[in-house]
Structure 1
């Protein structure tokens, strides 16, 4: 019988020593990592000589409006010199800030909750040296925390913490999937070429 839980991009699901990577996941070093936001489904091993397969089924439900301290998953839609704009889906108000929630089913950013990440909120140190284009790129999926409800159009978010930053990215040249190489670099899984990012520590 299959078992299921909610998972988010960048989350460690299981070691490759005990499970097989299925759809919606990828392997990084010795672990199976979630590539999508949705339900984790583990199918039992077909025989004694095989391992259970772990997969992600994309989430299709919506969530309430964000509150201050809500942890959110956001897609970067515009990067400027002093800030970026992202479309987000927050965690429910009753959920702890460390719990991540899925995207809405629609991919139209114009109808999503909008958020602003200012340069000074990217990280907690050397704020005067932050380059937005070396931290985030359009299309990156990031984990962040809501720090202000802002105005009627935008929320303000922060990635100033080890657990916040890019969780899913594709290479700017050819669009290959990328995996974390360090806290400030993602690496193309095919070419091995690195690109600068403010990377979230895998949860």
Structure 2
């Protein structure tokens, strides 16, 4: 059965007690999360078992004009003292045909205590971030913000084990394998 719901990495799709995790998903604790960008599908389980929830990847990429206010998914490519460089991969529910460059400035990481933001403690290269376009920027890059509870890191790998980390607060993620905590500016886990 097809769904109109589009998932991005880190989106919570359902409870592990109600569904079986299929391709494009993973189970963490009592919940099933998306590991790909794509539409969410539910299929009947084998031999009367729990329904299987999957995310079909490889959605057709499209050309998209990114506008101010759009929520985007981006991969962090470089972190410096005053900004983080990102590649914008999705705009709204559209997978982009090519990645667009963007930056998140230090003052746009969070709404409070802006002067205490440490970029190295907020983002790491490889993190997948949910952000909002705050300005069209210049000809080379868009300006993004994560200064809202539903914006920030949605997906990150642990430096210690390479496992996908779990957010434990708005500023920390924990490796489920080693228990080591790493600082991040996390998006609220149940944000859509």
Partner of 2:87: helix, strand, or coil? Answer: strand
Whether 1:55 aligns to 2:47 is no
Partner of 1:142: helix, strand, or coil? Answer: strand
Whether 1:11 aligns to 2:14 is no
Q: Which residue of 2 aligns with 1:115?
A: 102
| Mapped partners of 1:195, 1:158: distance in 2 | 21
Q: What is the alpha-carbon root mean square deviation over aligned residues? A: 1.6
Contact 1:64 1:90 in 2 (8 A): no
Q: 1:128 aligns with which of 97, 115, 118?
A: 115
- Structure 1 moving runs of 4+ over 6 Å: none
Contact 1:80 1:132 in 2 (8 A): yes
Gaps of 5+ in 2: none
| Mapped partners of 1:60, 1:26: distance in 2 | 23
Residue 63 (structure 1) shift: 4.2
| Mapped partners of 1:6, 1:28: distance in 2 | 20
Partner of 2:107: helix, strand, or coil? Answer: helix
How many residue pairs align between the two structures?
Answer: 188
Whether 1:40 aligns to 2:40 is yes
Please give the residue correspondences for 1:33-182 in structure 2 after superposition, counting only pairs within 5 Å: 33-48=33-48, 50-58=49-57, 59-91=59-91, 100-101=92-93, 103-104=95-96, 112-182=99-169
TM-score of the pair, normalised by structure 2: 0.91
| Mapped partners of 1:122, 1:63: distance in 2 | 28
Worse overlay, 193-202 or 70-79: 193-202
| Mapped partners of 1:170, 1:102: distance in 2 | 24
Residue 193 (structure 1) shift: 1.3
- Structure 1 residues 38 and 90: CA distance shift in structure 2, 3 A: closer
Partner of 2:47: helix, strand, or coil? Answer: coil
Gaps of 5+ in 1: 92-99, 106-110
TM-score of the pair, normalised by structure 1: 0.86
